[in-house]
DNA sequence: ATCCGGTAAA
DNA sequence: TTTACCGGAT
């Protein structure tokens, strides 16, 4: 048996016993798969598990999403973070109903052309919804493959490596198993090698893993507080408000010690949110007002 | 205070 | 290739 075949066997066997029972592993419905993948793009399983069913209850299909107001979708996205995803998902739903006859396209190229769908999600949908033999590389898969595969593969591009390592059968289970292993055992720091199914054949087992450096660059912000905090507070405030809010009022609600002179700064922030399709800015009696996008 | 991550735009 | 985008966990 080849080394790769041993890796396949060890990891797939482990997965068949240890796989978590997750709702998106119980369906091949393209909408449900896509929704789960978009939610999982930047968000831990734990939190997605909580929001996924309630979002699905409110928006069970591309059609329902396409017909909804942006504000309604942004509200349903509460607690997920990266609110851009909600806006893009609704835009995507519009394209599906109006340009694709209500059906998600099946080619990677078409999937990747959709808003919010990149290389990872396109292939995840292709494999998990359509049963195609597509490699998927998220950071978990990336890490696991780099550790478990032989040194000769180290210089090749990760997507090529993933393609090469893909078993001829069971692509679905293989992809799921790599993600499961990467998130539960083969974690970035202090991997749990003693309980890993492929510890015996892993070249990296029990090696010291250097904690990977994060960007040295500081997060953009103001007075040491990242902009995303203010953006988050603004969207959250608007979620709770049925009507539009004066910029000055918004400023006082989201920034401690907000003054008139801070308004240009606030407006810059609001313009960013407007560009992202999250808020609507309008003038009323010469004052800037803002509400959730429609 | 630091960690975590897929997509889009620059 | 680099940066912005998020909020919950630790």
pLDDT at A188: 86
Residues A37 and A142 in one domain: yes
Q: Is A212 contained in some domain?
A: no
Same domain, residue pair A85 and A231: no
Radius of gyration of chain A (CA): 22
Confirm whether A206 is domain-assigned: no
Considering the domain architecture, whether residues A119 and A22 belong to the same structural domain is answered as yes
Distance CA A228, CA A207 (A): 37
Spanning CA of A40 to C1' of B8, the rounded length in angstroms is: 17
Same domain, A229 and A266: yes
Asked if A47 and A149 sit in the same domain, the reply is yes
Q: What is the C-alpha to C-alpha distance for residues A262 and A178, in angstroms, rounded to an integer?
A: 48
Lookup: nucleotide whose C1' is closest to A117 CA: B7
Look at residue A211 and tell me if it is in a domain.
no
**CATH number of residue A250's parent domain:** 1.10.10.10
| Domain termination site, one of A166, A201, A236 | A201
Average pLDDT per consecutive 10 residues, chain A (294 residues; last block may be shorter): 96 95 96 97 92 95 97 95 96 97 96 96 97 96 94 91 96 96 90 92 78 64 87 93 92 90 90 93 92 92
Question: A94 and A231 share a domain?
Answer: no
**pLDDT at residue A219 in the model:** 81
pLDDT tens digit sequence for A24-53: 999 999 999 999 999 999 999 999 999 999
Q: Is residue A210 part of a domain?
A: no
- Judgement on whether residues A170 and A114 belong to the same structural domain of the protein: yes
Compute the distance between CA of residue A165 and CA of residue A268 in angstroms, rounded to an integer.
47
Tell me which DSSP letter residue A229 carries: H
Same domain, A13 and A67: yes
Domain that residue A284 falls in: 222-292
Q: Report yes or no: A152 and A191 within 8 Å, Cβ to Cβ.
A: no
Taking the C-alpha atoms of residue A53 and residue A61, their distance in angstroms, rounded to an integer, is 13
How many Å from the CA of A139 to C1' of B7? 14
* Same domain, residue pair A46 and A189: yes
The CA distance from A44 to A30, in Å, is 21
The pLDDT of residue A111: 97
By three-state DSSP, how is residue A273 classified? helix
CA–CA separation, A281 and A263 (whole Å)? 14
Report residue A97 as tokens.
């109903």
* pLDDT for the residue numbered A89: 97
How many domains is chain A built from?
2
- What pLDDT is recorded for position A196? 93
Catalytic residue among A18, A37, A54, A112: A37
Last residue of a domain, one of A170, A201, A232: A201
Q: Are residues A228 and A197 located together in one domain of the fold?
A: no
What is the structure's pLDDT at A189? 81
**pTM of the full predicted structure?**
0.92
Say which CATH number the domain at A148 has: 1.10.340.30
pLDDT of residue A134: 97
Assigned domain for A215 exists: no
Is residue A207 in a domain? no
Q: How far is the CA of A83 from the C1' of C5 (A)?
A: 8
Q: With beta carbons less than 8 A apart as the criterion, state whether A142 and A47 touch.
A: no
Q: Which nucleotide comes closest to A81 if you measure CA to C1'?
A: C6
Determine the pLDDT at residue A208.
63
Residue after which a domain boundary falls, among A147, A171, A201: A201
- Judge if A31 and A111 occupy the same domain: yes
A141-193 pLDDT tens trace: 999 999 999 988 988 999 999 999 999 999 999 999 999 999 999 998 888 89
Kindly state whether residues A35 and A172 are assigned to the same domain.
Answer: yes
Q: How far apart are CA A291 and CA A274, in angstroms?
A: 10
Annotated active-site residue A37? The verdict is yes
Cα pseudo-dihedral A58, A59, A65, A67, rounded to 10: -50
Q: Is residue A68 part of a domain?
A: yes
């Amino acid at each position: 048996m080849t080394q790769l075949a041993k890796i396949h066997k060890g990891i797939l066997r482990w997965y068949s016993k240890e796989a978590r029972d997750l709702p998106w592993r119980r369906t091949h419905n393209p909408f449900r798969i896509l929704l789960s993948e978009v939610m999982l793009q930047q968000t831990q399983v734990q939190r997605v598990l909580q929001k996924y069913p309630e979002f699905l209850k409110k928006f069970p299909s591309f059609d329902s999403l396409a017909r909804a107001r942006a504000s309604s979708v942004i509200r349903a996205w509460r607690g997920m973070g990266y609110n851009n995803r909600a806006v893009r998902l609704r835009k995507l739903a519009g394209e599906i109903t109006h340009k694709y006859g209500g059906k998600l396209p099946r080619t990677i190229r078409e999937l990747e052309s959709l808003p919010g769908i990149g290389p990872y999600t396109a292939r995840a949908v292709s494999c998990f919804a359509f049963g195609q033999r597509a490699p998927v590389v998220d950071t978990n898969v990336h890490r696991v493959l780099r550790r478990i595969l032989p040194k000769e593969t180290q210089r090749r591009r990760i997507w090529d490596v993933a393609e090469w390592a893909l078993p001829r059968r069971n692509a679905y289970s293989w992809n799921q198993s790599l993600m499961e292993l990467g998130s539960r055992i083969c974690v970035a720091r202090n991997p749990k090698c003693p309980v890993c199914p492929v510890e015996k054949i892993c070249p990296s087992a029990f090696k010291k893993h250097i904690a990977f450096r994060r960007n040295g660059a500081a997060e953009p912000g103001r007075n040491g507080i990242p902009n995303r905090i203010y953006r988050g507070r603004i969207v959250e405030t608007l979620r709770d408000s049925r009507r539009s809010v004066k910029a000055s009022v918004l400023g006082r609600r989201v920034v401690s010690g907000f003054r008139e002179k801070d308004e240009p700064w606030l407006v810059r922030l609001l313009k960013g949110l407007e560009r992202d399709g999250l808020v609507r800015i309008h003038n009323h009696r010469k004052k800037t007002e803002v509400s959730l996008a429609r």
